[in-house]
Every structure is written in structure tokens, then in C-alpha cells.
A and B are shown apart, each in its own frame.
Chain A
Amino acid sequence: MPLIHRRTIQGEPVRVGEREIIPEARVTWWMRRRSVIGMNSIGGWGAGLVDVRPTAVIERGPGYTRRIPIRDETNRLLLGLLAGAVFVLFLAQVAERLATPQGESK
């Protein structure tokens, strides 16, 4: 049984003129539960995380279907900054190595 489950769901279409817009989202969830039944005791616990994220809107018009993705721009920019941080670290290390004569570590 997988630890993380995922499914894609679609909502009711929104009709605008001759077009239909169908919202689409992805549900990701993790769930754990356990119960213990003993002679003199009974107990249990359960925990779960659910993430619902819109993935796209599907546009259906006369004779065509188009998928317009929905992206998390904030996350993309944050990942870009993280890549920048790694690049700065790499650059600093390279500069240090190039400036240090061979055979000396510090």
C-alpha cells in the first residue's frame, strides 16, 4: 500500500458563451492509523495530511479542447532563489580554490 496517495478531480463546467471551462485539481494525501485492543486496555491514534492543488482549467470550445495549466509562481520564484543560493556557494568555493596555490588546503 503506497504511503502517499494521489488522484485528479474535475469540477462542474462553467459555461461562458459557447465555451465550457472545466476546473481540474489534484488531491494528495497521507494517512496513518493504528489501534491496539488489549485485555485491559484499548487505544489508538490516527493522523493525516491532505493537499488540494489546482492543476489546470480545461477549455472546451466548438471543435477544440485546450488545457491551461495553473502554476504556483511564488514557489517557482522561491526555487529560483534557492538555485541562486546554491550557485553563490559554488562560485565562492571555486574562487577560493582558484586563488589558493596548489597543494595548500587553506
Chain B
Amino acid sequence: MSEEQHTTEQEDHIGEMFARLDDLQANATVGAVFGQPIMSGDKVVIPVASVSYGFGLGFGEGSDREADKVDIGLGGGAGGGVSAHPLGLVEITPEQTRVEPIVDEQKLALAGMTLAAWSVFWAARAVARILGHGKCKGCC
């Protein structure tokens, strides 16, 4: 295989990989976030979620042609991740259609505890400064 052919082949591979990256967003459909409708009596329920995904890839090939023998090195890697969070349920009854939200209680509890700690810190700091006024010499 000539060097020119080899480079063209590599360029084709790069083009193909980049085309697959484009496919990832082009293939994002409503089906990724809306589940299959579930029939329950005269009610239809559609689960709803939000989905995010990320990916990355890198590759390289190089040769040292100045040495007596040609050294060729190549390498590459790729990785990705997906995250999905339930958002709610779409309930369709003969009378009405409504969205029942799903709240992530664990996340809220953690955030609430952080807020409580934050509030205690700032309140204590303010009280200490107010009560200790005139005594504190820039230590706090």
C-alpha cells in the first residue's frame, strides 16, 4: 500500500468517525425522553424523563522516517456517559390531560441541609460580629 493510499484511508476513517458523532445528535428522538404509553383501565400514562449524554474520542498515528528503520506508532481512545432523570408522568384520562411531576427528594434533602448549614454559618458569623463589636481586632 502506498503512502498516499494509506493517508487517504486514514482520512476516510476520520470522516467516518466524525459522521458518527453527528449521528448521535441527529438520532436523538422524542422516544428518548417519552416512554411507551401504559394503559390502565381508561387511563393512559406516559413516563417522561430528561436524558443527557456526552462523549469524546481522540486518536493519532505518527512515524519517524528519519531513523534508519521506520517507527510507526498509533493510538486512540474513546469514552462516553449517559444520565437520565425522571421528570414526571403524563396522565391522560377521558376527562383531561395533566402532567404529574416527579420530585427528586434525595437531591432536595441534600440541598436543604446544605442551605441550613449555610444559614447557620452566616447567622452565627453576623451575631458574633455584632456582639463582639469593639472586642474583635480583625480576627474574624
Known: A54-B34, A88-B122, A92-B126. A46 touches B17 (CB 8 A): yes
Known: A33-B21, A40-B65. A23 touches B46 (CB 8 A): yes
- The answer to whether B11 touches A9, judged by C-beta atoms less than 8 angstroms apart, is no
A93 to chain B: closest residue by CB: B126
B129 to chain A: closest residue by CB: A96
Among B18, B51, B58, B108, contact of A52 (Cβ-Cβ < 8 Å): B51
B69 within 8 A of A: no
Known: A19-B92, A48-B55. A41 touches B46 (CB 8 A): no
The interface size of chain B toward A, counting residues with CB under 8 Å, comes to 67
Complexed CA–CA distance, A74 and B8 (Å): 50
Shortest distance from the beta carbon of A70 to any chain B beta carbon, whole Å: 5
Shortest distance from the beta carbon of B86 to any chain A beta carbon, whole Å: 9
Interface residues of A in 38-90 (CB under 8 A from B): 38, 40-54, 57, 59, 66, 68-74, 77-78, 81, 84-85, 88-89
Shortest distance from the beta carbon of B95 to any chain A beta carbon, whole Å: 10
On chain B, the residues within 8 Å of A19 by CB distance are 92, 97
Known: A33-B21, A84-B115, A92-B126. A10 touches B10 (CB 8 A): no
Q: For chain A, which range describes its interface: under 10, 10 to 19, 20 to 34, or 35 or more residues?
A: 35 or more
- The answer to whether A48 touches B21, judged by C-beta atoms less than 8 angstroms apart, is yes
Among A33, A46, A50, contact of B52 (Cβ-Cβ < 8 Å): A50
On chain A, the residues within 8 Å of B44 by CB distance are 14, 16
Among B31, B102, B112, contact of A81 (Cβ-Cβ < 8 Å): B112
A3 within 8 A of B: no
Known: A23-B34, A27-B25, A31-B25. A41 touches B61 (CB 8 A): yes
- The answer to whether B56 touches A46, judged by C-beta atoms less than 8 angstroms apart, is yes
- The answer to whether B129 touches A70, judged by C-beta atoms less than 8 angstroms apart, is no
Residues of A bordering B, CB below 8 Å: 5, 9-12, 14, 16-17, 19, 21, 23-25, 27, 29, 31, 33, 35, 37-38, 40-54, 57, 59, 66, 68-74, 77-78, 81, 84-85, 88-89, 91-93, 95-96, 99-101, 104, 106
Having A46-B58, A50-B53, A54-B49, one finds 15 other A-B pairs with CB under 8 Å, namely A11-B31, A16-B92, A24-B30, A27-B25, A46-B17, A48-B54, A50-B24, A52-B28, A52-B52, A53-B33, A57-B97, A68-B98, A85-B115, A85-B118, A88-B119
